[in-house]
Amino acid sequence: VQPNQIDLFILTHTHIDHLGGIFDFLQAPMFVSERERALPKPLYWSGGQPWEWPDRDYITVRNDTRIGPGFEVLQAPGHAPGQIAMVIELPNTGCVMLTSDAISRRSEIDERFDTAPDPETALNNAQRLMELAEERNAFVIFGHEPEQWPKLRKSPEFYN
């Protein structure tokens, strides 16, 4: 895929490790939660807001939303005010859930999200995501799971 072929950009939340590409792919609308986009500037991290929102088209969402066939975004605040996760149905892999930082590491649920800005909301949403993953028999990809990372396919490999 060439950069100019990107036709939709999804921002899961506005922390530095997920925010770096907001100035790329400006031809593509950015899909972002209404709560994150409502911030005067992207949050970045720990209250810092050094960047402005780029001049681009935005698609904001308030609720769980089906974007297209087999592709939906799920509201999962707690780690960030407008955190979203994604579920994708792939023809060969099946259902894949990308938790982003709604569940960074598998152990966060047992740790009860004690470092999250809103631990109770984070825990409730993580439990909801895991219940949905179980219902759909989803392959769950966590945002920062060190044990999972080496086992995941990375470009040029892919899930289909």
Rounded to two decimals, the pTM is: 0.92
Give the percent of the chain with pLDDT over 70: 97
Beta-carbon contacts of 89 under 8 Å, excluding residues fewer than 6 positions away, are 69, 70, 71, 95, 96
Return the half-sphere exposure (C-beta side, CA atoms, 13 A cut-off) of residue 133.
Answer: 18
Task: For each of the domains in the chain, give its residue range(s) and CATH number, in order of start.
Answer: 3-151 (3.60.15.10)
**What pLDDT digit, counting tens, does each position of 76-85 carry?**
999 999 999 9
| Residue 45, pLDDT score | 65
pLDDT band at 21 (very low <50, low <70, confident <90, very high): confident
Name the average pLDDT for the chain. Answer: 93
Beta-carbon contacts of 45 under 8 Å, excluding residues fewer than 6 positions away, are 15, 16
**What pLDDT digit, counting tens, does each position of 79-124 carry?**
999 999 999 999 999 999 999 999 999 999 999 998 898 999 999 9
**What pLDDT digit, counting tens, does each position of 146-156 carry?**
999 999 999 99
Question: What distance in Å separates the CA atoms of residue 102 and residue 88, rounded to the nearest whole number?
Answer: 16
